[in-house]
């Protein structure tokens, strides 16, 4: 396999090119990609040309490139995201229709919560930076609390080792506060996080049970903090999470 | 850039490895990947190892690998799919709630229609092989008819050049029939395709208007053929498509 002088593979450098894109930077020039991926401009040019060839990048109408539809198509086969999403979608839609609040499906990935699906509520809190593919530091999210509550000690320690970034005045950044939050979530079976990510928002999350004791995902809603009545929503979320867990344990039909 | 003896780049071979996965083959062994991608097993091994390193593949609990969550995360930034999906989702949800039928968002990609989003109706036609990332030959889909109706002559000719595969007894495979179908869709602004893909199903689609005369996508529903009353659904679809087009022309907020 071809490696650069630094011993990095072509694929590793191509992955850095692709990772240069973000929700605030969906279209980039080659120069911007080179800077963000810390690659020489000629190297970035060559890699971008090859990624365009295989359809992992596309040219935009201007001078930029963006992640290509073909990459999206392959990635939509990502079994974990897809299976979870397929099993969860009917239940998420029910929660969304019943509560008219932002509704999301998330998994723990390292020290972050990764949003797999998000159903936006048009009349609810506007301007929240929520979308599939977004990451939220797990210590700041209600979903993080219910997922870390049941995680291996090693995963918890990795989060506590920080950095425990403060996203709002109310984001917990003290390890003992976080341990308390997780213990509480484990005992109660849900988490309510008031203003941790955004002062206007309360997050409510419950774990989706997996085959063993550990949850495979979390579902939750984000409601306006000033009118949050979480205890009216928790039973519906718990019931939906059980339904999703049951749907996941049924082998998928070949269709 | 490193190239194999055949002059193929590492990235091109890696893309073939990733393209070996499909909706009917979400988990593969390295031997299966080598066979499907027509690569020597040692080459497949090296590429799979590198793709595991960068998170584009993940190991499963058995001896297999599958497309990784990290690839899904990068691909979820694919601007075209994401922008369309975000703009369309509220309208798709309304159609889905109002009709209780399978509802989909599609784009034309070469001679196929690519499904970007699909909302399943639990009580509607069961067993349809519909999911985000699925391709349907454009000549057989209602969405294909409305998209090809407004496509460049070159795109139409590419479809007519075939192969015009027959998916059911009613799939049109005669070029002049297809030209007639497209002319009809252009005049009426919608397409109704009865049994083209599956004898039990009627597809109804309308184009989502773009900035110029060409549609950027199509939306539609799939209903049981024996109870299809398309003309009751077309106005709702047309209104939703206009709403999506309007939402797309509004620059997205940075949030």
Given a cut of 70, whether residue B255 has pLDDT beyond it is no
Among candidate residues A80, A126, A121, the one with its CA nearest the CA of residue A101: A121
Write down how long chain A is. 255
B69 backbone dihedrals φ, ψ, rounded to 5°? -65, -30
Place of tokens 């499904």: B115
The rounded percent of chain A whose pLDDT value lies above 90 is: 56
Point out the residue among B72, B89, B253 whose CB comes nearest to the CB of A81: B72
Q: How confident is the model at residue A252 (pLDDT cuts 50, 70, 90)?
A: very low
Listed in sequence order, the residues at least 6 apart from A165 whose beta carbon sits closer than 8 Å to its beta carbon are A137, A140, A171, A173
Q: What is the pLDDT of residues B98-118, one digit of tens each?
A: 888 899 999 998 899 999 888
d(CA B124, CA A51) in angstroms, rounded, equals 40
Which residues of A are less than 8 Å from B71 in CB distance? 71, 74-75, 78
Chain B's closest residue to A134, CA to CA, is B73
Ramachandran area for residue A189 (φ above 0: left; ψ -120 to 50: alpha; else beta): left
pLDDT at res. A147: 97
Q: Would an 8 Å CB–CB cutoff place A167 in contact with chain B? A: no
Query: Would you say B51 and A43 are in contact if contact means Cβ atoms under 8 Å apart?
Result: no
Question: What is the largest distance, in Å, between two alpha-carbon atoms of chain A?
Answer: 59
> In the predicted model, what is the mean pLDDT of residues B19-38?
90
DSSP class of B194: E
Query: Would you say B207 and B189 are in contact if contact means Cβ atoms under 8 Å apart?
Result: yes
- Would the CB atoms of B15 and A122 count as touching at under 8 Å? no
- Would the CB atoms of B12 and A50 count as touching at under 8 Å? yes
Helix (H, G, I), strand (E, B) or coil at B169: coil
Per-residue 3-state assignment (H helix, E strand, C coil) for B71-129:
HHHHHCCCHHHHHHHHHHHHHHHHHHHHHCCEEEEEEEECCEEEEEEEECCCCCCCCCC
Helix (H, G, I), strand (E, B) or coil at A156: helix
Helix (H, G, I), strand (E, B) or coil at B237: helix
Point out the residue among B24, B46, B79 whose CB comes nearest to the CB of A1: B46
Given a cut of 70, whether residue B129 has pLDDT beyond it is no
**Cα dihedral: B247, B249, B251, B255 (round 10):** 20
Place of tokens 């009613």: B170
Sheet containing A135-137: order of strands: A135-137, A112-119, A102-109, A215-224, A201-209, A191-194
Among candidate residues B75, B147, B139, the one with its CA nearest the CA of residue B106: B147
Helix (H, G, I), strand (E, B) or coil at A134: coil
Given a cut of 90, whether residue B147 has pLDDT beyond it is yes
Among candidate residues A230, A116, A128, A111, the one with its CA nearest the CA of residue A178: A111
Query: Would you say A170 and A195 are in contact if contact means Cβ atoms under 8 Å apart?
Result: yes
Among candidate residues B112, B143, B159, B250, the one with its CA nearest the CA of residue B207: B143
Listed in sequence order, the residues at least 6 apart from A232 whose beta carbon sits closer than 8 Å to its beta carbon are none
Point out the residue among B10, B79, B96 whose CB comes nearest to the CB of A26: B79
d(CA A133, CA A115) in angstroms, rounded, equals 5
Q: Would an 8 Å CB–CB cutoff place B169 in contact with chain A? A: no
**Cα dihedral: A43, A45, A51, A56 (round 10):** 120
DSSP class of B251: P
> In the predicted model, what is the mean pLDDT of residues A74-96?
82
- Taking each helix axis from N to C end, the angle separating B153-160 and B175-188, rounded to the nearest 10 degrees, works out to 140
For chain A, domains (ranges, CATH) are 10-74 (1.10.10.10), 79-249 (3.30.450.40)
Instruction: Determine which helix (DSSP H) or strand (DSSP E) holds B218, and give its type and residue range.
Output: strand B215-224
Sheet containing B102-109: order of strands: B135-137, B112-119, B102-109, B215-224, B201-209, B191-194
Question: ipTM of this predicted complex?
Answer: 0.73
d(CA A42, CA B38) in angstroms, rounded, equals 31
User: A42-61 burial, b for 16+ CB within 10 Å, e for fewer?
Assistant: ebbebbbebbeebbbbbeee
Point out the residue among A18, A109, A255 whose CB comes nearest to the CB of B74: A18
pLDDT at res. B79: 65
Averaged pLDDT score across all residues of chain A:
87
- Would the CB atoms of B72 and A78 count as touching at under 8 Å? yes
pLDDT at res. B6: 55
Q: Would an 8 Å CB–CB cutoff place B14 in contact with chain A? A: yes
- Would the CB atoms of B78 and A68 count as touching at under 8 Å? yes
> In the predicted model, what is the mean pLDDT of residues A172-178?
94
Q: What is the pLDDT of residues A189-241, one digit of tens each?
A: 999 998 899 888 999 999 999 877 789 999 999 999 887 788 889 999 999 99
DSSP class of B65: E
Given a cut of 60, whether residue A250 has pLDDT beyond it is no
Q: What is the pLDDT of residues A88-144, one digit of tens each?
A: 988 998 898 888 889 999 999 889 999 988 888 766 777 776 777 788 999 999 999
> In the predicted model, what is the mean pLDDT of residues B19-29?
87
d(CA B235, CA A216) in angstroms, rounded, equals 41
pLDDT at res. B46: 94
Least confident of A29-33, A154-158, B7-11: B7-11
d(CA B96, CA B114) in angstroms, rounded, equals 19
Chain A's closest residue to B9, CA to CA, is A50
Which tokens sit at B36?
Answer: 């499907």
Which tokens sit at A15?
Answer: 């992955």
Q: What is the pLDDT of residues B164-187, one digit of tens each?
A: 999 988 999 999 999 999 999 999
pLDDT at res. A26: 86
B186 backbone dihedrals φ, ψ, rounded to 5°? -65, -40
Which residues of B are less than 8 Å from A121 in CB distance? none
Place of tokens 């007519």: B160
Q: What is the pLDDT of residues B43-77, one digit of tens each?
A: 999 999 999 999 899 998 788 999 988 888 888 77
Query: Would you say B219 and B175 are in contact if contact means Cβ atoms under 8 Å apart?
Result: no
d(CA B148, CA B207) in angstroms, rounded, equals 10
> In the predicted model, what is the mean pLDDT of residues A62-85?
82
Which residues of B are less than 8 Å from A12 in CB distance? 50, 53-54
Given a cut of 80, whether residue A159 has pLDDT beyond it is yes
Given a cut of 50, whether residue A15 has pLDDT beyond it is yes
- Would the CB atoms of B81 and A97 count as touching at under 8 Å? no
Among candidate residues B71, B76, B107, the one with its CA nearest the CA of residue B248: B107
């Amino acid at each position: 396999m071809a490696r650069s002088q630094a011993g990095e593979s072509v694929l590793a450098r191509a992955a850095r090119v692709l990772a240069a894109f973000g929700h605030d930077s969906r279209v980039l020039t080659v120069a911007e990609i080179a800077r963000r991926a810390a690659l020489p401009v000629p190297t970035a040019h060559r890699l971008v040309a090859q990624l365009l060839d295989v359809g992992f990048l596309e040219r935009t109408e201007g001078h930029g490139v963006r992640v290509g539809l073909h990459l999206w198509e392959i990635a939509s086969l990502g079994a974990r995201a897809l299976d979870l999403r397929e099993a969860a979608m009917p239940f998420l839609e029910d929660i969304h229709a019943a509560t008219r609040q932002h509704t999301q499906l998330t998994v723990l990935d390292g020290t972050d919560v990764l949003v797999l699906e998000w159903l936006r509520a048009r009349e609810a809190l506007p301007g929240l930076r929520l979308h599939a593919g977004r990451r939220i530091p797990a210590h700041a999210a209600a979903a993080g609390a219910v997922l870390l509550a049941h995680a291996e000690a090693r995963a918890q320690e990795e989060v506590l080792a920080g950095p425990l970034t403060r996203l709002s005045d109310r984001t917990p950044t003290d390890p003992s506060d976080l341990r308390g939050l997780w213990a509480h979530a484990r005992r109660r079976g849900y988490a309510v996080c008031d203003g941790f990510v955004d002062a206007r928002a309360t997050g409510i999350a419950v774990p989706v049970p997996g085959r063993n004791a550990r949850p495979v995902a979390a579902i939750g809603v984000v409601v306006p903090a000033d009118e949050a009545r979480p205890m009216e929503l928790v039973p519906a979320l718990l019931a939906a999470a059980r339904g999703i867990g049951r749907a996941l344990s049924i082998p998928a039909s070949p269709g």
